[in-house]
Amino acid sequence: MKGTHLGEFQEIVLLTIMVLDEQAYGVSIKREINEKTNRNISRGALHTALSRLEEKGFIRSKQGEASPDRGGHPKRYYTASNKGIEALQEARTLREQLWNQIPELKWQQPYA
Amino acid sequence: MPDKRNHIPALYQILFKWFCRETIYAELQGDLEEEFHLNVEKYGLVKARNLYRKEVLKMIRASVVKVPSMIVKNPVKLSLLLLNIKLAFRNLFRHKAFSAINVFGLTAALTICLFFVNLIFTGFSLDRQYENLNSLYRVESTVTSKQGDITAMATTPFPSVAMLNEDIPDFDMVCHVRNSAFAIVNVNGIEVELNGLEVDPAFLTLFNLEVLQGDIKDVFNDFESIAITEEVAQRLYPDLYPIGEVTEDGKVIRAIIATPRAHSHMRYEFIGHLNIPISTADTPSFAYSWNAYYDSYTYVLLNGKSDPKALQERLMQFGNKVNRLSGLEQQFSFSIRPVKGIVFSEPVMNEIGTVFGREGLVVFITTILVMLVIACFNYANLSIARAIQRTKEIGVRKVSGSTALQIIGQILIETIFFSLIAPLLAIGLYYYLKDEFIATLPFFADVFKPELSLTIIGVFIFFSVFTGLFAGFFPALYFSRIKALSLFKQGGAKGQLTFLALRKVIITFQLSLSMFTVLFTLLMYQQVAKLAGESQGFETKNRLIVRAESKDAQLLKPAFLTVPGVEAVSQTSGIPGTSINMVESFNELISGDSSIEVQFLLADEAFDEVLEPGLLDGQFFTGKRNSPNKPMLVNRAFLNLLNIDFNRAIGLIIKNKKSSFQIIGIVDDITMGNPFIKTEEAMMIINAEADRSQEVLLLKLEANNLRILTSLEEKWKEILPDYRFEPEYLETYLQKPLTEFLNLVKAEGLLCLAVIAISLLGQVGMALYNAETKVKEIGIRKVLGASLRSIITLLLKGSLAPLIVAIGIGCPLAYFAFINGITPDISSPLKPKPWIFIQGVLGLSTVIILLITSQTWRIAKQNPTESLQAE
């Protein structure tokens, strides 16, 4: 269906949210992605991905607690919705299918 | 970590708060701050701050940034606008050459207008820095000579200034200014002459000067102290501190003041203290007498309660009082003029700076209007052509449901979009060219401030938008009204024909204007060449003028003759080649009421040695003056005036009431150097006893060099140690009125060039358009066997008719404008010959034909199979 496609970066963000379980908010998601994927993403790019995911209904958000560290501003926690989990699983299945269709021979990389 | 909180970059915090959407601000700002603190721990404060800044900048994206409320309210209109802008861009790049021509024509016109608008603005804003500007006035005098010649001067006679101060109560303060002061500075062995003003201390109150260094009041401690302008200081003392420096002629620099150029109507390089001598019992020196009304200016502070009528009355009475003084050769009357806006007020003689007068203002404004009109028409012409090209596209739009308003909007947006690029380019071009402008036209320098104010820029952008509207209006209206279906039919509606006619009219108008300007400019240049080549009737090269009182001149003459390099010295009462103010009348010789007055010059025997005039008959002065008859040389006009037969003239004695004269020689006509005074006036050169009025020494030098001048100055100083040696070259003196005329012609020539360039751009544009629309026709013709030449001829035909009409209009117009507007004022007018007109016509036509041919060459050469394929 159109509009429910999961982009590559969005997939990573969604996966990270699931990894972090209840502790997924801006700073933690960003840190996790930076460490695990070795990509240096900006908070702005992350925000765009998060808002797209929210628009598509793959994640939900709720306001968290404030702290002096954050200048008194509250956090926003993100969790994956059922729709989001389903989309992740579909994506995974699709990849596995394609992987399985590649003939064994292709995995032998010839060296000159 | 409370104290570290304060180290978050404040500016970026504010920036982020400004552009971030309110709904997500709290979350994002909180994250940013939390991360900042973590980074401080990890990397240190400096890096953490840098990372914070980068994060904020990376937040500039659509999902974060606020949407302007206008867009939120009108999403449909906005998307249409964006679409139209996109289309405008696309069209711009599709026809690159065409668009470039379009925009550049407008740009060129706007650039020129920028210069002239700047001149006008600066002219009106001169002197605004003076606090008292609204009460500042200048007293001027009108001088009536004995012969009845009336001259309006910006100056007043030297002694009148003190009298004005006493007699006129309306003047709160009176300031005496003299502008013939000069100083000599030695820079690396080269002597540089500076021109300046001598003023009294009231000057400081009337004109509050901006003092940059030193103390301006020191200038009035003695008569040797001066204050130089900043421009002079930078030019002559770039690395020195000039305060305290002594100039070559003994002046001491006490202060540096702001340069008056483009800020004040006065022109000077330094200011000194005016020395007003206490009058002695003997006849005062010429420089301080009533005859000295050439370089003395009176500026006053007018009392706010002064009544203009009463003041006028008092000035008139003052004039009467002055004229009753004994020994006056002239009669004076006085008036006042406000200093505000003086640059564009009626010009008078001996102005203290550059004045353009009402006429100048009119010329500037006309120039601007003409430029703008041409550019506007040009642009409209090309835009209409472009719009017609897209007839089918508009048809499709209409069929798809566009409203009339949307069509109009589309076309207007396109043309305005194009025309907005022009002022931006014009401003860029202006800044690039402004130094050239001043270098080419230096007499504008006093009234030209290179910086453009926001007002001017705003006005130009407004004008460009207006041009865009004007250019787009007609096609927009036309397209929005007609029925969609008719647009698809071949040949288009009858409206297209009116368009064609309209465009032809515009082109013809432009061509006529170009033809007129080309011919007129050619005529002007020929005229100038003629004037410059005119012989004066005597030699002017390496001739020097030195002025001194008669008795001093008599002493100076033999002294100068001892200087090696001086070949001859003559003492005269005036300078030939200019208006001579001394006249003898011969009324007795004729009957009736008419009077005969002849200009005369008193000269000694060395006259012919110095000036070498042409001799038609008789001889020059021999030095013998035995008889009671004064020997004189006359010209042919004199003989004609008194009905004397040429062959019987020599030896003839002529008497009038005062004396008797004998003609000993007839000289070739000595002309007047001023191009605007009619020549062929009767003239007498009389060999008389040296008397009070022979105050000019004319020297013939073997060469023009500094060594001779220095030796002359030494001789001068031996005889007149208290007076300055102020020689002037005869050539320069006679050239002055011509130089100003030359400058005007130069300026006009440049303008014409611009007009022609813009018109030519229009021609090229039209030619390109014509060629592009006929691509298929050309293809078919080629297939049928037409040669390249016949194709080009076909394309040229369209331009031929307007060209012929233009010739028919331009030639007579130029001829009459020149004959009636220019020649009546010129002493030796040019008689326009047909050859000039042929030159101009052929020249312009050739240029146009070449331009059109070169542009359409490419299209004419196209392979017909290719051009017929594309649709």
Secondary structure (3-state) at B81: helix
CA distance B33 to B52: 8
pLDDT over threshold 50, residue B451: yes
Helix, strand and coil percent figures for chain A, each rounded to 5: 60, 15, 25
Minimum CA–CA partner of A73 in chain B: B30
The rounded mean pLDDT for chain A is 89
What distance in Å separates the CA atoms of residue B35 and residue B47, rounded to the nearest whole number? 12
| Chain A residues whose beta carbon lies within 8 Å of the beta carbon of residue B27 | 26, 73-76
- Decide the pairing of beta strands B136-144 and A74-80: unpaired
pLDDT at residue number A76: 93
What is the reported pTM?
Answer: 0.57
Identity of the residue in A43, A52, A67 whose CB atom sits nearest the CB atom of B32: A43
φ, ψ for residue B479, nearest 5 deg: -70, -35
Phi, psi of B729, rounded to the nearest 5 degrees: -80, 135
Q: Which positions in chain A touch B26 (Cβ < 8 Å)? A: 73-74
Q: Is A30 in Cβ contact with B30 (below 8 Å)?
A: no
Q: What is the distance between the alpha carbons of residues B696 and B604, in angstroms, rounded to a whole number?
A: 11
Amino acid at A56: K
What is the three-class DSSP state of B689?
A: coil
- Angle (deg, nearest 10), helices B10-19 and B22-43: 150
Spatial separation of the C-alpha atoms in residues B246 and B860, rounded to whole Å: 74
Overall average pLDDT of the B112-117 stretch: 83
Question: B54: nearest CA in chain A?
Answer: A42
The token pair that represents B745 in the structure block: 């012609």
Asked whether the predicted pLDDT for residue B447 surpasses 90, the reply is no
Q: Kindly tell me the burial class for residue B765, based on how many C-beta atoms sit within 10 Å of its own C-beta (0-12, 13-18, 19 or more).
A: buried
Give B34's contacts in chain A (Cβ within 8 Å).
Answer: 27, 67, 69-70
Q: Look at residue B817 and tell me whether its pLDDT is greater than 70.
A: yes
Handedness of CA A36, A37, A41, A45 (dihedral sign): negative
In terms of CA atoms, which chain A residue is nearest residue B26? Answer: A73
Kindly state the tokens that stand for A70: 């954050």
Closest partner residue to A42 (CB to CB) among B34, B55, B62 is B55
- Residues in chain A with CB shorter than 8 Å from the CB of B5 are 68, 71
Phi, psi of B826 (to 5 degrees): -105, 140
User: For residue B26, what pLDDT band results from cuts at 50, 70 and 90?
Assistant: very high
Q: Is B426 helix (H, G, I), strand (E, B) or coil?
A: helix
Q: With an 8 Å Cβ cutoff, are A47 and B63 in contact?
A: yes
Cβ distance of B61 and A48 shorter than 8 Å:
yes
> Tens of pLDDT along A23-42?
999 999 999 999 999 889 99
Q: How far apart (Å, rounded) are the C-alpha atoms in residues B470 and B376?
A: 8
The torsion angles phi and psi of B680, rounded to 5 degrees, stand at: 60, 40
From the list B29, B37, B55, the residue facing A69 with the nearest CB is B37
Sequence-ordered alpha helix ranges (H) in B442-493: 454-481, 484-488
**Does B487 have pLDDT greater than 60?**
no
Chain B nearest-CA distance from A107, in A, is: 40
Structure tokens belonging to residue B563 = 């200087």
b/e map of A3-32 (b: 16 or more CB within 10 Å)? eeebeebbbbbbbbbeebeeebbbbbbbeb
Interface A–B counts its CB contacts (< 8 A) at: 71
In total, chain A counts a number of residues equal to 112
**Helix orientation angle between B834-861 and B730-773, rounded to the nearest 10 degrees:** 30
How distant is the Cα of A54 from the closest Cα of chain B, in angstroms? 12
Nearest CA in chain A to B1: A69
Q: Amino acid identity, residue A29?
A: I
**Reported ipTM:** 0.89
What is the DSSP annotation of A13-54? Answer: HHHHHHHHGGG-BHHHHHHHHHHHH-----HHHHHHHHHHHH
Identify the contact set of chain B against chain A, taking CB-CB distances under 8 A: 1-2, 5, 24, 26-35, 37-38, 54-55, 58-64
B58 and A44 within 8 Å at the Cβ level: the answer is yes
* DSSP one-letter string for B615-633: EEEE----S---SSSEEEE
Q: What is the pLDDT of residue B352?
A: 79
pLDDT per residue as tens digits for the range B313-343: 888 888 888 888 866 777 888 988 888 888 8
Query: Mean pLDDT across the stretch B740-766?
Result: 74
pLDDT class of B172 with cuts at 50, 70, 90: confident
Tell whether the model's pLDDT for residue B690 goes beyond 70. no
Least confident of B73-77, B352-356, B815-819: B73-77
Q: What are the phi and psi torsion angles at B664 (to 5°)?
A: -110, -15
Name B698's bridge partners: B545, B570
Cα atoms in the Cβ-side hemisphere of radius 13 Å centred on B547: 11
CA B523 to chain CA mean position, Å = 20
Widest CA span of chain B, in angstroms? 120
Cβ separation B27–A73 shorter than 8 A: yes
